[in-house]
Amino acid sequence: MSLRMTFNIVMTAAMAIGLAMAWFMTARISAQEAKSAVLAEAVAIMEAADAVRHYTSLQVQPLLDTQMHAQFLPQSVPFFAVQQTMDKLTERSPGYLFRMPTTNPTNPADRPTDWEAKIIEQLASDAKLKEMIVERSEDGRDLLSYAQPIRVESETCLACHSTPQTAPASLIDIYGPANGFGWKVGDTIGAKIVSVSQEVPRARARKSLVEIMMGLSGVFAVMLLVLNGLLHFSIIRPVRRLSQLADEVSLGNMAVPEFPASPNGEIGSLALSFNRMRRSLVTAMEMLGD
C-alpha cells in the first residue's frame, strides 16, 4: 500500500473517531442546555405568576374591599388574577401551560389530574420541599413541568376557605358551599405547575449540533487536504525523484544530475548522502576505468 493511501486511511479513521466523539459530547451538552433553557423559562413564568399574585393582593384587593360586601368579585382574588393572566399567556404561546391544581378546589376547573395529584401528594408529604421538576409526555409532546407547593400560610386565607358559614355569602352564591373549604394553616392544598414543551429548544439544539458537526467536518477536510499537500511536496515527490535517480545510477547512468538538496530535514540529509554516494561511485568507476 502506498504511503499516501496508508496516511489517508489512518487520518480519515482518526478524524471519523474524533467526529463521533465530538458528536457524542456535543449532543449531550446541547441536550443539557436545552433542558436548562426550558427550566429557566418555566422558573421565569412562575415568577411572573407570583408577581401578578402579589400585585393583586397588595394593590387590587384593598380597592375592591367595600364592593365585595355587596357583590363577590373574583377579580380581587389573587389566585383568580394569576390564572386569568396565565391563561392569556398560554393562549398566545401554546408551548406553555400554567395550572394551579388543588386537591379540594373552589373552582372545579382546578381539580388535579392523576399526575398533578401525585405532585401535590409528594409536595404535601415533605414540608421542606420547595420545588419539583417532572418530565413527562402528553399527546406525543415531551414536557418539562416545574412545580411549587401552594401552602396556606396565613389566617387571611381562611376568611374564604375555612367553612361556608365564614365565607362571604356572595362567594357561596357563585361557587356553592361544597368545594374549597376546610383548609387549615400549614396545609399544602395544591401546587402551581408550569409546563413547557421541550420540542422548540430540542429542535434548536439539534440545529446547532448539525452546524457544529458540519463546521468540524469542514475543518477536518481542509486539514486532510493541507496534510496531503505537505506529504506530497515534502516527502512523496522528493523520495520518488531520489528513487528514480538511484535507479538510473544503479543501471550505470552516471550522467544523471545531482539531487538539489537542502541540508535541512531528513529528506535533505538523505539527498546529501545520496549525492555523496553517487560522487564516490563515479570516482570509483573512474579509478576502475583507469
Least distance (Å) between residue 213 CB and ligand HEC: 47
Give the list of residues 6+ apart from residue 280 with CB closer than 8 angstroms, or none: none
Counting other chains too, the contacts that 21-27 makes at CB distance below 8 Å and 24 or more residues apart are 22/212, 22/213, 22/216, 23/209, 23/213, 26/209, 26/212, 26/213, 27/209
Question: Minimal CA–CA distance to 3: which of 217, 248, 230, 273?
Answer: 230
Among 6, 67, 156, 273, binds ligand HEC (CB under 6 A): 156
Least distance (Å) between residue 114 CB and ligand HEC: 18
Residue 160 binds ligand HEC (CB under 6 A): yes
Among 11, 60, 80, 272, binds ligand HEC (CB under 6 A): 80
Residues 146 and 50 sit within 8 Å (Cβ to Cβ): no
Cα separation of 256 and 244, whole Å? Answer: 10
Q: Residues 172, 176, 180, 184: is their CA dihedral positive or negative? A: positive
Residue 42 binds ligand HEC (CB under 6 A): no
Among 77, 120, 194, 205, binds ligand HEC (CB under 6 A): 77
CB nearer ligand HEC, residue 160 or residue 267: 160
Q: Which stretch binds ligand HEC (CB under 6 A): 20-28, 102-110, 205-213, 243-251?
A: 102-110
Residue 193 binds ligand HEC (CB under 6 A): no
Binding site for ligand HEC (CB under 6 A): 74, 77, 79-80, 83, 100, 102, 105-107, 110, 150, 152, 154, 156-157, 159-161, 171, 175, 180, 190
